[in-house]
Each structure stands twice: as structure tokens, then as C-alpha cells.
Amino acid sequence: MYIVASYDRWRYHFLPVIVIITMFFITSCVAQYDTNLTYLEDPANDLYLFDSYTKIDGTILLQFARYNNPDQTCIDPDVHLRIVFTDGTVKPLKVAHQIPLYNFCKIQSAFRNYFINDHEILITYLNGEDEATTIHTGMIIDFDGNIMQFVEFGIGVGKIVRSKDEENGFTWSRQVNETTIAWSRFAPMSTNPNQIVKFGSGYITSPTRSIINSYKMFKSDGGGVYFVLSNKLNQTTAVDPVWNVYAIFIDKSNLEISTPYLLYQSQMDLFDINFIGCSDSNGEGHNCLMGVEMFSPKLVKKNNIVYFLLTFLTSGSVINFKKLDIGEDPNNEILEITVLLNRGFLVTCLSFKDKKRMGFFLTENGEYDGKWKGINNDVMTVNYFSHNDTVWGMLFQNSSASWTLITDQLRCKNFTDMVDNTKEILRQTYSGLSSQTSISNHTSVSIEVLSSTFNNPSANYFISISNGFVNSKLYNEALPGIRKKVWYLNTSIEEPGLCLSSVMVLLRLNANGTKYFKKLNSKEIYGFYNELMDELSEIIPVERSRLSDSGKFQNDPSDSNNLVLMQVRISQPNEKLTPCANDIAKDLAALINNKYFTLISHYPLSSMLDEKYGAMMIPEGWSDEFKLNLLYAFGGVLLVICIYFIARYKNPQGRNVFVFTIALIATDFILDLVFIVYNLKMVSSLFMPSIIFLVIPTVFNLIFTLYILLKEQYTNEQFRDWLISNTKVVSVLTILASADLAMLNIITSNLAGLSCFQVPLSKDAEVQIFWGRFVNIFIEEIPQFIIRVIYIKHNSIIYDPIPVFSLISVGLSILYSLVGRGFDRYKLLCTDKMETSQVRTDGEEKDYNHDSKDV
């Protein structure tokens, strides 16, 4: 599945691009003045609006102040801020006093407030005793009013322009003399985004040493800035220019500063030339509005500013210069001209008659484009939401008890309004150099879409594309991208289907994640699971309650690096339209498999998931691997049975059943060792008990075996002869008996008629072997059986033959020990009865013989 975006006369430009797809809900276009937000203040604070700043996403930052003198030249030394979020909520902040007192009487040059990212605010002020030493300083606070950092920009009061992207920070500049501008670039550290540092600075010198009358700084599409300088020259002849306008570009890396590009010249002795604003490049240059003031405002009472539309490329070439016909209405005063989202302009006017704001629109070519009714209320300030083509203003405060914001959506275009409380969730992101993007015919770009992206029916999504993704084929000029909540995609309605039962999903940690996980204790492992589920619930997204971590983990038996597997249970929904567990599992697999294009790589714990493994659903029933291992086990049992019949064929009278005893004891001991080494390394709660209940019984059996063998050597003459002639057999037998004392009984078994298994043991030895094996049931076999049950219940999440067959072998050993000990006990009792009977018989015969002699 692909997203195909068509761009007329555009060509692919291999610069990094981010395509962000996020789900949100949007209201349709409504009537003008659709938002009216009133906020109540404490009248005792006596606060009135002082300054405002509008973030590109629609968040507003307001500063209020209390004037402490009648002419309003000084304010109280407090900073009162109000953050108006896009969902209509207002958060008040009062910043701790860290600003020199004299700033509060230099209110024309101090206190400019900016959002620098989604959680920090920059407050600028002056710090110094006089103009020569005054340092323009920034105080960075978070959204709770806590001071995070202080930043020194430079000497003197400068201008600040934010870059288009938050990671590129902002640029500070100041005109230090008639011909020179100093600038510095500040941005967050890559290793610590909350720390702002200066990473570039320099000077811009006016061409031909002309006097810089004024300058403006604008943000460019590539993440850098450009300066527009209005320079006044000393005219020596009538044909020499009096005014020059230059543009100078600085890229985002600060490594490349362009040569000055001449944009405009005039031989007229004008009063002033000023750039009002510039719109983003549309692939056909930067559209800038230039105001030329013909005479001093003191000499004329009417508007004497002539407006020009100047379009120039990043290369410096001017491709359009046009005078704007804004009309000459003696009843209205032109207040400002705003560059609009649709690349047109809004001319704002003030009526001399009723003091109401009104205006009209101009196209991007400067042509009349209709009348604007204006905000028919008394407003203190008018600002522009560039993200949804809306004007907002604050009504004049009749008192300090409240204030009201109103909005006027300029054109009905199905943009979101001011109230939008839906959380944005990243679904997919690609670089322009990714193999998942392609171009065809220089007119369309295709982007592969993951199956987990548009995964909710009846939902709305938007796509944003970073600036510079494509260039104009005609001018090779970077085009602006698509901002958030401009390009919408809607998914179709889907009838709810039948959801099956809950599913179990396996996740695997990569090498770094496994290394980190194995260092955690049991409490930290629980916290790891819980935090990982929190992250996944936001990324998928799904209700957190549906992701119930089982806490089970184990090494991946199919991986040679012993990567850690974890189990997650996805429960079924309560509501019909919520995705089924099976669909969530598929989305999770797609997200992890493509982790570097999704939010999986953005979170600390989910980034540890192995993209090669994804998310595997545990199949129901017996797996093919389990069936294959059962086949191997069955083959081993057949082999032992064959050996048994061979031994029986050679000697039917021997206790050939010891073939099964040897196989069971050897298998059980080997599985014990492998289970501890391979499966219990990370389970600290079971690892040490397993070691204890293996080592202690082994040492016990070894000591008991040596004791029985040595005692028999000194008390049993036949055994002593057998021991001397079968030293190798005794050595092997001693090792095997340390695993289980039952191996000693093989000496008397006459197995397969072999002479090495035809020596009798004393009755004392048989009794000692019986009680030694009985003790082993409690100090080895039962504890090991319990450990394996606990492991399989809490830690075994995927079929692994070792713990399964180890549990089976231990269970068979317990069963064999109970039956064998019962049989041995019965045999001993029978032997005791036979011996007792024999003793009585011998005694009666002796008495009988004695009586005969007497007769």
C-alpha cells in the first residue's frame, strides 16, 4: 500500500524528510467567530495584557503585568504568564524573580517571550549597568514555571527568530554599528535536548560599507535564516542609488554564509524602506512584502507607504517585483499586512469612523481577493494562526477580573479550529533517502505505508512532510513541506467482526536489551515489564489494561546468542469497534519490524525490541518442533528397549531391567545440568535453589557410595576380589552412583550375563543403599520437581525441550524411586523372614539331633 502525492513541476530532492502520520479527530468548518474563550483572573492581582506570542501549532503565550505608575512606564517586578493550549485550557505561571529590577522600567526593550519547544519557554531581558555592558539574556523555564537555564545572547538588545524546526533552535542578532550585524545561533544539545547551547556565531557586514538603515531576519525552509538589509548610501550623482536592499543567507550548520544578493535599488531619496514579512518559499522564491515610506510621518497625515511584492530565490535572483494596489480610502487607516497560509495577504484596516477592524485579501500576486469583515469587536491585539488560517484577538479588558480571546477563521477550508484536544500519535516516519520512498516521472512521490499505520476504521489521520523534500524543477528552489493538520486522510467505516479469544505474543530483546535485562533483579524486571507495556500502549495505541504482562521470560532456544524472549497477553475488547487482539498483535509486529520508521525506536525500552523477531503469536496446540522432539524421545525409548531385549536374550535370568534404570538416571542428571546452565541463569530466585538441590544430593551420594564400597572391601571377600579385577568399572560406577545410589545395585544384577555384574553385596550394604535412595527422594527429586513446575508456570513462554523433558525425567525418577523403594523394602522384609525361618529350622534340627544321641 502506498501514499502517492502529486506535485506539479516538482522533482525529488534527496534531503532528509520526515513524513509523520498521526491520528486525530477534527471538527468541520464552522462560522466565523467560532471560538470565544473567557478566563477569570483574581481581581486583586490587577493584571492587564502586556505581551503575546503565538506558536505555529496554535498554542498562545500571554504575559500580563501590573503597571505601578500613571504613565505606564514601569510595571511591578513579577512575570505573570498564561499558556493557552489548543484544547482551550489555560495554565497560569508565575516565574520566580530572577530579573534585574531596572528591566521593569525598560518595558519597551525587555521581556520578549517565546516558545522554544513543546515544554519550554524563553523569557528575554537585559542584564547590565549601562548600554555598553548590557547583556541580552534569556531565562528558560518549563511549563510549570521552574527555571531550567540561563543563556547569554550578547551585548545589547537584539532580535530573536526561531527556526522552522525545534531541533535547529533560534538565532539572535543585533546591529552593533552602522555597517555590522552580530548574530549567534542557539540550539538544544543532541545528547540533552533540554540544554540550550550556542553552536555558532559571526558577523554580517554591509556591502560597500553602506549604512544599514534597518534589517529583518527571517527563517528559511532549510532550517537556517536569512537577513534582508535596507541600506542607505551617500548619493554622489543623480544616477547613483540612494537605497540598496540585500539578502544574505546562513544555512542551519552555520558553515555557509552566502554573499549579499542585491534585491532592490532606488535613486529616490526615500524616507525609509522596511520589510514587513516574507512567506515560505513555494518553489518559486520567497514572497516578501516591502513597504516604502515616501515622506516622514510627521510631514503627512495620511498613509504614505507604498507596498511592493518582491519575490526572490535562494540564489539571490529576483523573479518578481510588483507594486500592490491597496486602495486609498480616506476613511480607513492601514494597520498591518499579514502574510497568510495560502500565500496571500490580509490587509488590516482601522475605520476612522467607528474604530472597527476590517480589511481585504490580496492574492500572492498582489491582486484584490475579496473583503474581510474583520473582528467586529473592540480588540487589543490581533494575531494570526498560520496552522489553520485563523485570526485571533483579545477583547479590551474592562477590568482585571477576566479576559476574552476570540477567533475569526478567515476562509472555510476544513481546518481544525482553536479547540483540539486530541493527542497526536506518530504512526510512521521516513527519510527521503529511505528505500521505502520512490519517485516517478518527476511528478509524484510514492511512500510505502505500513500495515499498522491506518489501522483504525472510521478514524482521521494527517500527514506532514518537512520542508525541502522536493525542489522546484523550474528554479531548483526548495518547496515547503506539508504542515500538520493540513493534509487529511480518512479511513472507511468497518463493520465489527467476530473477535476470537485473547492471544499470547512473544517479544524478543536485541543484544543490548538482553545485556541490560540480565543485570536486573526480580523487582527491577517487574518494573521493566510494566514500563514497556506503558510505552507499547501509547505506540500501538491500545488501552493499557489490554496489555497484561505475564512476567515470563526465557532465553530464545532457537538463537545462539541467548536473546531474551518475553510474553505479553493481549485481551479482547469490551467495545465492538475496538480492534481485536489478533489485529493488535499484527500491528505490533509491523511496528517492531519497522522500528526505525515508527515510535518503537523513540522510547527507551521499546527501542530494545528486536526488529528481526517482531511480535510472534504463540500458536495453539502442539508445534512442529514439539512433535519432532517427541519423535526423538520416542526413538530414544525404542533404543533402550532394544538394548533391554538384547541383554535379556543373552541372560534371561539377569535383572536386565537395570538398562532402563541406567538410561533414566543418566538422562535425568544430564538434563539437570543443562537446565541449570541454560534456563536458570537469569532466574535468580530459582538458580541458587537448583544448585543447592543438585550439589548437596550429589555430594551426599558420592560420600555414601565411597563409604559402602570401602566397607564392602573390608568385610566382603568376594567383593574385594571383584574390586581388584574391575577397577575401571568401579571408577565409572562411583561417578554414576553420585547421581543416584541405585546404580550400585547393578553390581548384583547379572545384567546380560556379564561377569562384572555378578558379585553379591552384603545385607548391610543393601539396607544402606535403600535408605540412601529414600533420603534422595526428599533432598533431590521432590525439590527439583517443584523447581521445574515453578519455572514452567512462571518463566517458560515458548516450547523448550529442556525444561519439559527435565520435568518428565524428574517425575519418572520420583515414580521409579517410590516404586523401587517399595520393592526394595518388600525384598528386605522377605529376606528377613527367610533368614529368620532358616535360623529357626537350623535350631530345630540341632535339637532333634541332640535328642537322638540321647536316645
d(Cα 801, Cα 542) in Å, to the nearest integer?
34
Read off the pLDDT band of 182 (50, 70, 90): very high
pLDDT number for residue 99: 86
Cα distance between the two ends of the chain: 119
Q: Residue 669 has what pLDDT?
A: 84
Q: Which residues pair with 339 in a beta bridge?
A: 345
How much is the average pLDDT of 802-825? Answer: 74
Model pLDDT, residue 390: 83
For residue 417, pLDDT beyond 60 = no
Selection from 187-196, 418-427, 581-590, 816-825 with the highest mean pLDDT: 581-590
Provide the 8-state DSSP code for 257. B
770 has a pLDDT exceeding 90: no
pLDDT (tens digit, 9 = 90+) per residue, 451-508?
888 877 777 888 888 767 777 777 777 776 776 666 778 877 665 566 767 888 889 9
- Residues, the chain: 855
Q: Stretch 673-702: mean pLDDT, rounded?
A: 80
How much is the average pLDDT of 643-661? 80
Lowest mean pLDDT across 2-16, 286-300, 777-791 = 2-16
- Which of the four pLDDT bands, split at 50, 70 and 90, describes residue 131? low
Least confident stretch, 155-164, 297-306, 687-696, 716-725:
297-306
pLDDT tier at 407, thresholds 50, 70, 90 = confident
* Residue range 515-561, pLDDT digits in tens: 898 888 878 888 898 999 999 988 888 888 888 876 778 787 777 78
Q: Would the pLDDT of 292 be above 70?
A: yes
pLDDT at 14: 38
pTM summary value: 0.55
Give the dihedral sign, CA 798/800/805/810. Answer: negative
Q: Quote the DSSP letter at residue 540.
A: T
Give 171's pLDDT tier (boundaries 50, 70, 90). very high
Q: Which domains does the chain have, with CATH numbers?
A: 2-7+422-490 (no CATH), 503-617 (3.30.70), 640-841 (no CATH)
Number of Cβ within a 10 Å radius of residue 17: 23
Q: What is the mean pLDDT of residues 120-148?
A: 86
* pLDDT average, residue stretch 642-647: 84
466/437 Cα distance (integer angstroms)? 14
pLDDT (mean) for 557-567:
80
Query: pLDDT at position 245, please?
Result: 92
Q: What is the mean pLDDT of residues 86-103?
A: 84
**What angle, rounded to 10 degrees, do the helices at 727-739 and 658-674 form?**
60
* Nine cell digits for residue 457: 476504521
Beta strands in 279-376 (DSSP E): 286-293, 305-312, 318-323, 332-339, 345-351, 357-362, 368-372
Look over the chain and give the mean of its residue pLDDT values, rounded to a whole number. Answer: 78
**What is the mean pLDDT of the segment spanning 421-436?**
73
pLDDT in tens, 785-800: 888 888 777 666 666 6
Split at pLDDT 50, 70, 90, the class of 12 is: very low
Report CA 721 to chain centroid distance, whole Å.
75
Q: Is the pLDDT of residue 19 over 50?
A: no
Tell me if 277 sits within 8 A of 240, measured CB to CB: no
Whether residue 664 contacts residue 641, with contact meaning beta carbons closer than 8 Å, is answered with no
Range with lowest mean pLDDT among 237-241, 520-524, 826-830: 826-830
Tell me the torsion sign for CA atoms 802, 807, 813, 819.
Answer: negative
**Stretch 147-161: mean pLDDT, rounded?**
89
Cα–Cα distances (Å) from 478 to 19, 314, 481, in that order, read 16, 9, 9
What is the spatial distance between Cα 397 and Cα 64, in angstroms, rounded to a whole number? Answer: 12
Q: Confidence class of residue 29 from pLDDT cuts 50, 70 and 90?
A: very low
Per residue in 367-379, pLDDT (tens digit) is 888 888 777 667 7
Q: Does the structure show a pLDDT above 80 at 780?
A: yes
Whether the CB-CB separation of 219 and 212 falls below 8 Å is answered with no
Instruction: Kindly state the average pLDDT of the residues 334-361.
Output: 76
Whether the predicted pLDDT of 13 surpasses 50 = no
Interior/surface letters 527-539, b for 16+ CB within 10 angstroms, e for the rest = ebbeebbebbeeb
| Mean pLDDT, range 219-223, rounded to an integer | 75
| Residue predicted with more confidence, 136 or 759 | 136
Q: Of 119-128, 330-339, 798-807, which has the strongest mean pLDDT?
A: 119-128
SS3 per-residue string spanning 398-414: CCCCEEEEEEEECCCCC
Q: For residue 188, which amino acid is it? A: P
pLDDT computed for residue 50 by the predictor: 87
pLDDT at site 842: 52
- State how far the alpha carbon of 575 is from the alpha carbons of 461, 497, 499, 578, 680, in Å: 22, 12, 11, 6, 41
555: buried, middle or exposed (CB in 10 Å: 19+, 13-18, 0-12)?
buried
pLDDT digits (tens, 9 = 90+) for 573-607: 776 546 788 888 889 999 999 988 888 988 899 99
Q: Which of 175-189, 487-501, 634-648, 683-697 has the highest mean pLDDT?
A: 175-189
**619 pLDDT tier (thresholds 50, 70, 90):** low
Task: Give the per-residue SS3 of 78-115.
Answer: CEEEEEECCCCCEEEEEECCCCCHHHHHCCCCCCEEEE
Mean pLDDT of 389-402: 84
What is the band of 419 on the pLDDT scale with cuts at 50, 70, 90? very low
As to burial, measured by CB atoms within 10 angstroms (0-12 exposed, 13-18 middle, 19+ buried), residue 397 is middle
